[in-house]
Amino acid sequence: MIRTSSIHSEAGDPFAAILRPPDGETDYDRQLRLKREAEAKRISDSIDDELRKDEKRYKKRKEDVKLLLLGQAESGKSTLQKQFQLMYSPNSLEEERLSWRSVIYYNIARPVRRIFEVIDTYGDGDSDDDSTAEEHQEHKGPPSESSLSGDQVSNSDKQLASLRLRLSPLLSAESSLSDRLSGGTPVSGGTSKGNLFVRSGWQARALLKSKFRDRSSFTGQRSSLENAMPRKSEDSGMVIGEKDQLIEEVANILYACQDDIKELWDHTTVRSLRETRKLRLEEWAELWVILPGQHNSSVFSRVCPNHSSAIIFMAPVSAFDQYLEEDPRTNRIDDSLQLFTHICSNQLLKNAHLVLFLNKTDVLLSKLANGVNVKKYITSYGERPNDFDSVVNYFRAHFTQVHKRNNENQRVLYTHLTNVVDKRATQSIITNVRDSIFRVYLKSAALV
Ligand SMILES: Nc1nc2c(ncn2[C@@H]2O[C@H](COP(=O)(O)OP(=O)(O)OP(=O)(O)O)[C@@H](O)[C@H]2O)c(=O)[nH]1
């Protein structure tokens, strides 16, 4: 930028005239001018410094490798992502841990609501109403109130009414938690169990909300605790570790309600419903976290990777005896192969480094050890031996074939047999994958 010291002395320099001290400059004016010039130089130097840093950042960004984890549902993407986090960014897992409190609390509050819903259904005395299929699937008659005397029934009703009242804060909390986890999207039950389906990014959202201090607690009011805190504008960040008001309130409610929850669980009516298997709480407590569109080719048409991208495609080889929930005629291995075909042939991804994880090999091993026969599900497997090596080689050959048929760029396919639950083995594979990616880029850089 501007170099004041040398310019003064250079004859013919257009800046020299501008920067020359004015005629008759007093000592005081000279001091001011020198101060201004020093300040201008300081600013100029700091701009130069920023530009140099920007250049470095830009270069580094160009060297970064973007990694895409792709594969059908339940193939192990999230598990592998956790292994990456454990290896390269363990702090991010610690931050994420906080967000799991919402999930755990939701999984406690949700079944309480469901118990009351089922009680209401049977309380109507109409077993053929239009309540959920699951509740009626195994219904063999009304619960035991029918066998109780009138007094007992009214006592039981009173107890339940009182419990409902005492547990009402927890029921409100459940709605707030559900709101938070679904990002305000109404809960759309994928099944009659009423599971909450959460879009990807819920953890970030949960963290963000807690960071920006959730003003809308489930009571709908600012708590005294919150009122006592100085308000911050929405764009001011919050330090992690600052208390999440909603979560703290739910924790208090759960603590206060613990005996009522136990009482509800042990109540004659609820026990009877449990015994007749109408209340399968272990299923209701499940909260599912999904990546939207994971089974949709748009998931990869949205990404526009540059030359420095790598794809890890996860194919669960243990899934040979499973079928898609949304299409029970499609074998999951077959589905995985179709997805892999799309990825190999996708023009946007054609320059990405390609790595295939034949995952869940431990599950495959145990299925084979338990005598599950591959040819029963994959007829083309024929009379090949039903052992691990033969099965894995058979599946690997199919994936390799798909890759060969869709490989106009002559890229290499790196294949690994994985069990991504196994931390040590997976981390060694990750290192291996990282090295192979860098080898390829170094090679292509040398060629360029
Ligand atoms: N035994 C075993 N379990 C695995 C392996 N990989 C994943 N799992 C389990 O399989 C289930 C699904 O794994 P996720 O990592 O959630 O799969 P995902 O691909 O992210 O699933 P979606 O979110 O549905 O797309 C989890 O219960 C994992 O613990 C593996 O190699 N071996």
pLDDT, tens only, 294-344:
333 333 333 444 445 789 999 999 999 999 988 899 999 999 999 999 999
Lowest mean pLDDT among 15-24, 44-53, 287-296: 287-296
| pLDDT digit string, tens, across residues 393-435 | 999 999 999 999 999 888 889 999 999 999 999 999 999 888 8
Q: List, as residue ranges, the binding site.
A: 359-362
Ligand 1, from 295, 421, 430: best to mutate by most atoms within 8 Å of Cβ? 421
* Closest C-alpha residue for ligand 1 atom 8: 76
| pLDDT digit string, tens, across residues 185-205 | 544 443 333 444 444 444 544
pLDDT of residue 318: 96
Give the number of the atom of ligand 1 that is nearest the alpha carbon of residue 361: 31
Domains in the chain, number: 3
* Closest C-alpha residue for ligand 1 atom 13: 76
Whether 425 is in the pocket of ligand 1, judged by its Cβ within 6 Å, is no
Average pLDDT taken over every residue of the chain: 74
Whether 73 is in the pocket of ligand 1, judged by its Cβ within 6 Å, is yes
332 and 221 co-located in one domain: no
Higher pLDDT, 273 or 77: 77
Whether 179 is in the pocket of ligand 1, judged by its Cβ within 6 Å, is no
| Domain final residue pick, 268, 289, 310 | 289
pLDDT of residue 413: 93
pLDDT of residue 2: 45
In a domain, 65, yes or no: no
Whether 294 is in the pocket of ligand 1, judged by its Cβ within 6 Å, is yes
Check pLDDT > 70 for residue 237.
no
In a domain, 206, yes or no: yes
171 and 213 co-located in one domain: yes
132 and 171 co-located in one domain: yes
Higher pLDDT, 317 or 58: 317
Over pLDDT 70: what percentage of the chain? Answer: 65
Over pLDDT 90: what percentage of the chain? Answer: 31
| Domain final residue pick, 232, 255, 289 | 289
Whether 322 is in the pocket of ligand 1, judged by its Cβ within 6 Å, is no
| Domain final residue pick, 245, 266, 289 | 289
pLDDT of residue 192: 35
pLDDT of residue 184: 54
Check pLDDT > 50 for residue 155.
yes
Q: What CATH number does the domain containing 356 carry? A: 3.40.50.300
* Closest C-alpha residue for ligand 1 atom 21: 74
18 and 97 co-located in one domain: no
240 and 365 co-located in one domain: no
437 and 315 co-located in one domain: yes
283 and 381 co-located in one domain: no
pLDDT of residue 381: 96
pLDDT of residue 148: 53
In a domain, 59, yes or no: no
Binning pLDDT at 50, 70 and 90, where does residue 379 land?
Answer: very high
339 and 405 co-located in one domain: yes
* Closest C-alpha residue for ligand 1 atom 23: 290
pLDDT of residue 213: 39
Binning pLDDT at 50, 70 and 90, where does residue 150 land?
Answer: low
Check pLDDT > 70 for residue 144.
no
Whether 74 is in the pocket of ligand 1, judged by its Cβ within 6 Å, is yes
109 and 247 co-located in one domain: yes
pLDDT of residue 185: 52
285 and 353 co-located in one domain: no
Binning pLDDT at 50, 70 and 90, where does residue 272 land?
Answer: confident
Domain span at residue 420 reads 296-447
Whether 79 is in the pocket of ligand 1, judged by its Cβ within 6 Å, is yes
406 and 374 co-located in one domain: yes
In a domain, 56, yes or no: no
Check pLDDT > 60 for residue 267.
yes
Check pLDDT > 50 for residue 228.
no
Higher pLDDT, 415 or 20: 415
In a domain, 382, yes or no: yes
pTM (whole model) above 0.80: no
Q: List, as residue ranges, the binding site for GTP.
A: 359-362
Whether 360 is in the pocket of ligand 1, judged by its Cβ within 6 Å, is yes
ipTM rounded to 2 decimals = 0.98
Whether 299 is in the pocket of ligand 1, judged by its Cβ within 6 Å, is no
Whether 143 is in the pocket of ligand 1, judged by its Cβ within 6 Å, is no
As a three-state string, the secondary structure of the chain is CCCHHHHCCCCCCHHHHHHCCCCCCCHHHHHHHHHHHHHHHHHHHHHHHHHHHHHHHHHHHHHCCEEEEEECCCCCHHHHHHHHHHHHCHHHHHHHHHHHHHHHHHHHHHHHHHHHHHHHHHHCCCCCCCCCHHHHHCCCCCCHHHHCCHHHHHHHHHHHHHHHHHCHHHHHHHHHHHHHHCCCCCCCCCCCCCCEEECCCHHHHHHHHHHCCCCCCCCCCCCHHHHHCCCCCCCCCCCECECCHHHHHHHHHHHHHHHHHHHHHHCHHHHHHHHCCCCCHHHHCCEEECCCCCCCCHHHHCCCCCCCEEEEEEEEHHHHHCECCCCCCCEHHHHHHHHHHHHHHCHHHCCCEEEEEEECHHHHHHHHHCCCCHHHHCHHHCCCCCCHHHHHHHHHHHHHHHHHHCCCCCCCEEEEECCCCCHHHHHHHHHHHHHHHHHHHHHHHHHC
In a domain, 81, yes or no: no
Whether 398 is in the pocket of ligand 1, judged by its Cβ within 6 Å, is no
157 and 128 co-located in one domain: yes
User: 419 CA to middle of ligand 1, Å?
Assistant: 10
User: 74 CA to middle of ligand 1, Å?
Assistant: 5
In a domain, 375, yes or no: yes
In a domain, 84, yes or no: no
Ligand 1, from 68, 69, 74, 418: best to mutate by most atoms within 8 Å of Cβ? 74
